[in-house]
Structure 1
Amino acid sequence: MESVVSPGPAAHQDEPTPDAAAATTPQGTAPRLGSRFHALLAATGAANLGDGVVQAAIPLVALGLTRSPSQIALLTAVAWLPWLLLGIGAGVLVDRVDRRRVQIGALVARGALLAVAAWLAVHGLTIAWLIALALAYGVTEVLADLAAGALVPDVVAPADLPAANGRIMAVQQVANAFLGGPLAGLLLTLGTAWALGAPAALAVLAAAVLWRGVPGVYRHAPVAPDAPHDPRPGAAAAVRRAGRDVREGLSLVLRHRVLRPVVLAAALLNMASTAYFTVFVLWAVGPGSRIGMTAGTYPLLLVALAVGAVAGSVLVARAARALGEVRLMVGAFTLAFALLVVPVVAPHPAAVAATLLLVGALSTTGNVVNETLRQRIVPAHLLGRVGGAGRTLSVGLMPVGALLAGGAAERWGLAATMLGATALAVAVALALAASLRGTTPADVATPDGRAA
């Protein structure tokens, strides 16, 4: 794999590079993830704690400004819109410049944005400002998430990717839901400014941890020395190179035996999931809701989701060895989406919490396997572009799902909208299982042919 990774000369002399580590990490031994990975993990925890507060607080703040399903749907849609508009271009950027610096810059920008939002909360926050905040926040998320995902294979050995991704997703879920949701409820009792200002500080803290704890240069896809000279002006040549980069990332996704059906199915699954959870907050919170929770108790449902997610991330490596990665991924996604019928037919807080516990475990299991397969299959110098192309396809339909859910809920009601989204998701998961039947170890091997 072609890569340009220059770790700090003094801080990491005791740690092998990823390629060297791969040669010294026998199968069955405990992973040696190293200090750079643990710094990345700490930064992930801080950033996702802030992210969890924002994700839990924004819909609840919106409910204080409007009860319109269409406006709530618009708020959800604009949060995901940057992935559709910027995903591929951001992937090219991640491959062309230092991934660590991209992530740090995005986190600092997020901190500044949330600080302004906290000021607005004191001086007059409207639903229009909240929608604009969600859109800008989504831009920082595109850059930070793509850079973070592409950075993981740079700091751990290929054999340790399942363990590393399991730890990262466990920290993400604990920080996002187990801690972030209840913390959002607590901060909202102090005021909206607290719920937006605290995540601003956490974003800056995450950037500082990355800056100090993950030194070095993490840049890939240098211009090939035998590339033909482009006589056109610099800007035109840059546009042509960017277009070539985009086509290269899309080409790998669309022609690969496993990546293509997974990404296409993910697009439809994400659309259905977004449609479901866009109106779920209206189903769960408020005096007219079916579950009857308050803004203070609703985040507790997210705790159940996080507990399940941690359990799934801990058990995924063992389950993958027993069942096989592809079979485990498809089965986990199918069961997770099928369970979403329970909150509709049994809208009791205890039943919903138990359901979200299982959904968290199953969805995290599927996501860990999905991320591991992508990081293993894709060459290092294409990770940013393939990640951007895949995210654009898989996340691009999420705004569509949110807007469709808002319109459907206005016309047919919340229950019909949620059941329709569930039925679509289960059908897509079953179609994915059929398309991946017969997958061989060679289909999920590394670019040099090494299987897991």
Structure 2
Amino acid sequence: MTATAPPAAPAPPPPTPEPATDATPDAPRPLGRRFAALLTATGAANLGDGIVAVGVPLVALGLTRSPDKIALLSAATWLPWLVLGLTAGVLVDRGDRRRLQIAGLAARAALLAVGGWLAATDALTLPLLVGLVLAYGVTEVVVDLAAGAIVPDLVPRERLAAANGRVMAVQQVANAFLGAPVAGALLTLGTGWVLGVPAALAVAGALVLWRHVPGRYRRTAPATPAPTTPATTADGAASPDAAARRTSAWSDVREGLRFVTRHRVLRVVVLTGAVLNMCSAAYFAVFVLWVVGPGSAVGMTEQTYPLLTLGIAVGAVAGSVLGEPLVRRVGEVRLMVTCWALAFSLLAVPVLVPRVAPLAVVLVLLGLLSTVGNVISETVRQRLVPAHLLGRVAGAARTLGYGLMPAGALVAGVLATRHGLAPVLLGATALSVVAVAAAAALLRQRDVDAHELPAPAPVEG
């Protein structure tokens, strides 16, 4: 499909302001009912994500204890970002971002329902589980890109940090705080429940978006001046100028990549994130083997391990609340780099002190610091990227940022099989700290401020 620039049209009127009887001149503008509905849908979908994220590796432990095979599941989780991130970004920019989320959640529900049926009938095998995770990842690419691109259309520009903080808080609470213990409880009922309940939650999220987020959320490039040459030649064929004006999907992909790679700020943030994500994928691909099982260093069970991961959710909630005030006091770049450095340095603690108590503290701090850093990086991208490019730039950024994660997980599995778990965990920690140090030397707050764009026109609701 090709896309052409639409004729110039007047900007749509802003949505009717929501009543605020207790508002004062200095009070921040409300985030609005549409954003509240988005949060509700995000909570339902991410509760399903949390059940799947915690439950699937534990289901896999019943099929194998091989590190390389367990790591294959982690690689399958992130591989769709490498393969589809760029093209899905084009889809998000060309389509309606609300409708894409609804379609992605509906497809996810159907997929999980099939997986739940296979598990309930004892027909689920490791290859089928890997295939399920791959297909699930495809829906996640579309849904996540569309959800991130729609946020600036729902909230005032000055509240982006608060909105992103709330989104990440809901994601973490649903994913870890609720998803982890629910996954453990469902696992005692049977593996079919681990996949069937998330299918129902995906349906709930799609219904909330359909009913309570009105409006069209398709952003197009600014209209170009009218052509001075005819669109067709005398024999009816398209003129060279008209053909040149049409953009292909590939040119859209290149535009997103070019924006990221040539942008002084985004280039550093994305490349640093790519290395950190690779190290994180390598670390957590084999982390469950370090913590769970009679032969592990920590010695936790499959039922108690989900409770430990609640620490990440607790820290994430605190980080989402503290993000906006901390940015005002410390500054975006300084705070983001500091959070990265502290978070990834803490990954050495579970290896050096393999006990439950210090591990729980580390996970709380990890959730807090990583959430603050993620809120800032997401807000910076939304401020620096034109509205009609948000999908493509996010797709390019996540393809680069997540593209190394499958490789990191696979390499970690192979190295852990040959050399043990501890060297892999410590090696991933050391490499991540080096990457943060490089980012600290290159990023400057004045560059972020210099590249900020005006807020986009509001969407009619």
Q: Calculate the TM-score normalised by the size of structure 2.
A: 0.90
Counterpart of 1:63 in structure 2 is: 61
Given the superposition, is the C-alpha separation of residues 14 and 318 from structure 1 closer, same or farther in structure 2, using an over 3 Å criterion? closer
Percent identity, please: 62
Q: Is the 8 A contact 2:112 2:195 kept in 1?
A: yes
Deviation at 1:4? Answer: 10
* Structure 2 residue corresponding to 1:242, chosen from 231, 237, 249: 249
Given the superposition, is the C-alpha separation of residues 4 and 348 from structure 1 closer, same or farther in structure 2, using an over 3 Å criterion? farther
The code of the aligned residue for 1:160 comes to R
User: Deviations for 1:115-164, whole angstroms, at most 9, x for unmatched residues?
Assistant: 00000002211000000000000000000000000000011111110111
Q: Is the 8 A contact 1:94 1:385 kept in 2?
A: yes
Alignment of 1:32-111 (within 5 A): 32-111=30-109
Distance 1:407 1:344 in 2: 19
Counterpart of 2:5 in structure 1 is: none
Given the superposition, is the C-alpha separation of residues 6 and 199 from structure 1 closer, same or farther in structure 2, using an over 3 Å criterion? farther
Deviation at 1:30? Answer: 2.8
Alignment of 1:382-401 (within 5 A): 382-401=389-408
Counterpart of 1:326 in structure 2 is: 333
Distance 2:290 2:44 in 1: 30
User: Deviations for 1:232-279, whole angstroms, at most 9, x for unmatched residues?
Assistant: 9xxx99995212211211111111121000001111100000000000
Distance 1:5 1:301 in 2: 50
Distance 2:29 2:313 in 1: 24
Q: Is the 8 A contact 2:380 2:448 kept in 1?
A: no
The code of the aligned residue for 2:274 comes to A
- Listed as ranges, the gaps of 5+ residues in structure 1 are 17-23
Q: Is the 8 A contact 1:221 1:381 kept in 2?
A: yes
Given the superposition, is the C-alpha separation of residues 441 and 400 from structure 1 closer, same or farther in structure 2, using an over 3 Å criterion? closer
Counterpart of 1:131 in structure 2 is: 130
Given the superposition, is the C-alpha separation of residues 87 and 272 from structure 1 closer, same or farther in structure 2, using an over 3 Å criterion? same
Distance 1:446 1:407 in 2: 45
The code of the aligned residue for 2:196 comes to G
Counterpart of 1:21 in structure 2 is: none
Deviation at 1:31? Answer: 3.5
Q: Is the 8 A contact 2:44 2:174 kept in 1?
A: yes
Distance 1:438 1:150 in 2: 23
Counterpart of 1:194 in structure 2 is: 193
Query: RMSD value over aligned CA atoms?
Result: 2.6
Q: Is the 8 A contact 1:267 1:393 kept in 2?
A: yes
The code of the aligned residue for 2:420 comes to G
Deviation at 1:225? Answer: 5.2
Distance 2:9 2:167 in 1: 23
Q: Is the 8 A contact 2:40 2:208 kept in 1?
A: yes
- Structure 1 position 277 matched with structure 2 position 284: yes
- Listed as ranges, the gaps of 5+ residues in structure 2 are 1-7, 233-237, 457-461
Counterpart of 2:219 in structure 1 is: 220
The code of the aligned residue for 1:358 comes to L
Distance 1:405 1:392 in 2: 20
The code of the aligned residue for 1:179 comes to L
Distance 1:239 1:195 in 2: 47
- Structure 1 position 356 matched with structure 2 position 363: yes
User: Deviations for 1:166-202, whole angstroms, at most 9, x for unmatched residues?
Assistant: 1111111000000000000000000000111000000
Distance 2:9 2:65 in 1: 51
Q: Is the 8 A contact 1:3 1:221 kept in 2?
A: no
Q: Is the 8 A contact 1:344 1:418 kept in 2?
A: yes
User: Deviations for 1:318-358, whole angstroms, at most 9, x for unmatched residues?
Assistant: 11111100110011011000000000011101110000000
Q: Is the 8 A contact 2:412 2:424 kept in 1?
A: yes
* Structure 2 residue corresponding to 1:117, chosen from 105, 115, 126: 115
The code of the aligned residue for 1:283 comes to W
The code of the aligned residue for 2:43 comes to G
Q: Is the 8 A contact 1:5 1:218 kept in 2?
A: no
Counterpart of 2:4 in structure 1 is: none
Distance 2:56 2:75 in 1: 13
Q: Is the 8 A contact 1:6 1:217 kept in 2?
A: no
Distance 1:374 1:25 in 2: 30
Deviation at 1:98? Answer: 0.3
Counterpart of 1:305 in structure 2 is: 312
* Structure 2 residue corresponding to 1:253, chosen from 256, 260, 282: 260
Counterpart of 1:155 in structure 2 is: 154
The code of the aligned residue for 1:319 comes to L
Distance 1:50 1:57 in 2: 10
Given the superposition, is the C-alpha separation of residues 3 and 186 from structure 1 closer, same or farther in structure 2, using an over 3 Å criterion? farther
User: Deviations for 1:361-416, whole angstroms, at most 9, x for unmatched residues?
Assistant: 00000000000000111111110010001010000000010011001101110000
3-state DSSP of counterpart to 1:305: helix
The code of the aligned residue for 1:100 comes to R
Distance 1:328 1:41 in 2: 26
Distance 1:143 1:109 in 2: 11
**Number of aligned residues:** 436
3-state DSSP of counterpart to 2:259: helix
Q: Is the 8 A contact 1:95 1:381 kept in 2?
A: yes
The code of the aligned residue for 1:137 comes to Y
- Structure 1 position 314 matched with structure 2 position 321: yes
Q: Is the 8 A contact 2:98 2:209 kept in 1?
A: yes
Deviation at 1:29? Answer: 2.6
Distance 2:277 2:383 in 1: 23
Distance 1:400 1:179 in 2: 30
